[in-house]
Amino acid sequence: MVGVSLCAGSSCQAAPQEFLYPVPVKGKYGFMDRSGQIVIQPRFDHVRLFSEGLAVVEIGDKQEYIDTNGNLMIPPTYEGAHSFSEGLAAFKVGQKWGYIDKAGRVAIEPRFGNQFGGAGPFSEGLAAVLFDGKMGYIDHSGRFTIEPQFGFAEEFSEGLAVVGMVVGENTAKDDFFGYVDKAGKVVVALQYAHAQPFHEGVAVVNVHRRGVKFYPELVIDRSGGQVVGAMDASIGDFHEGLAAIYLRESGDAGFIDKDGKQIILPKLRNMNDAQPSGFHEGLAAVSLPNGRIGYVNHKGDMVIGARFDIACPFMGARALVFEHNQVGYINEAGQYIWSTATKELPDNDEPGCFW
């Protein structure tokens, strides 16, 4: 675990009544509430966001789970502790992964994956796991509901999951990706060079095309029908009806709707060699040509001035930002709720939305 991840799963979501924000103080992490008050004192080397009332924290090489009061709930008994989803969390013993419940009891014996991973979070009742070199899906009892048969498998989103047949790097064949339903039926054929999870009823895919530097991207619906035609652009996931686009030829970035209409014209700068962040809670972080970052609303109006070096998505009406040598959280008016010098970060953590 490196620092704290401010996003989990396929989107960033705040959990009302339990959401706490990681803060660095003198090289250690604690947690603050929405008012900026530190409610769990800084004593951890690394942390993750709270999920289902528990957070993974690390002291030295030991990982444990705490509740929102900072109380130890599950001691550092297991290796490779992951965040809870649907009441279960992946853990590692040796080179295999299983799942524990919130009492710290083994719910699914470790028999999946390898030393690098292979036991994904539960989503919509199923989790993608690696078994004997192939990916499949298990239910909460650990029983395979979709037998291991894929080279790649992501968590379910809106009833469908991205799966792929991945070909070795030393072959001339292409990898192919598509979508399956919870019964394991292929509902969108494995024909794409890359595929992203479904969001708001649509998904972004890359189509194979010879003689191009980048495979064109398009937007499909749940049947595989084309919603937005192939573009020579990088397209982000749809959030709040809009998706960020990055035009590869010009380097400009903007936002489109599900009809492919440019709602916010490509006049922004590419961020992080990908695209602007998606919309969360009505705001999206965007970068101007001068490199400074601010937040726009759905109309493209800059409602929080572009003054930041790094600006992360809003969660629970708070956003993590880095400005010059300062790190902190702002509200939707751009005012700091809490801030400190970046030198307060642990020595091995770099500024970013994923510490």
Over residues 100-154, the pLDDT tens digits come to 999 999 999 999 998 788 999 999 999 999 999 999 999 999 999 999 999 999 9
pTM value is 0.89
What's the N-to-C CA distance of the chain in angstroms? 9
pLDDT at residue 15, rounded to an integer: 40
- Whether residue 35 contacts residue 337, with contact meaning beta carbons closer than 8 Å, is answered with yes
C-alpha span between 343 and 349 (Å, rounded): 10
- Whether residue 144 contacts residue 130, with contact meaning beta carbons closer than 8 Å, is answered with no
Share of the chain above pLDDT 90, in %: 74
Has residue 355 got a pLDDT over 60? no
Q: How many C-beta atoms surround the C-beta of residue 126 within 10 A? A: 22
Give the mean model confidence (pLDDT) for residues 231-260: 89
C-alpha span between 265 and 263 (Å, rounded): 6
**pLDDT tens-digit series, residues 276-299:** 578 999 999 998 888 899 999 999
Range name among 8-17, 20-29, 64-73, 178-187 with the lowest pLDDT average = 8-17
DSSP class of 183? T
Range name among 82-86, 122-126, 349-353 with the lowest pLDDT average = 349-353
153 φ/ψ sector (left φ>0, alpha ψ -120 to 50, else beta): beta
C-alpha span between 345 and 14 (Å, rounded): 23
DSSP class of 199? B
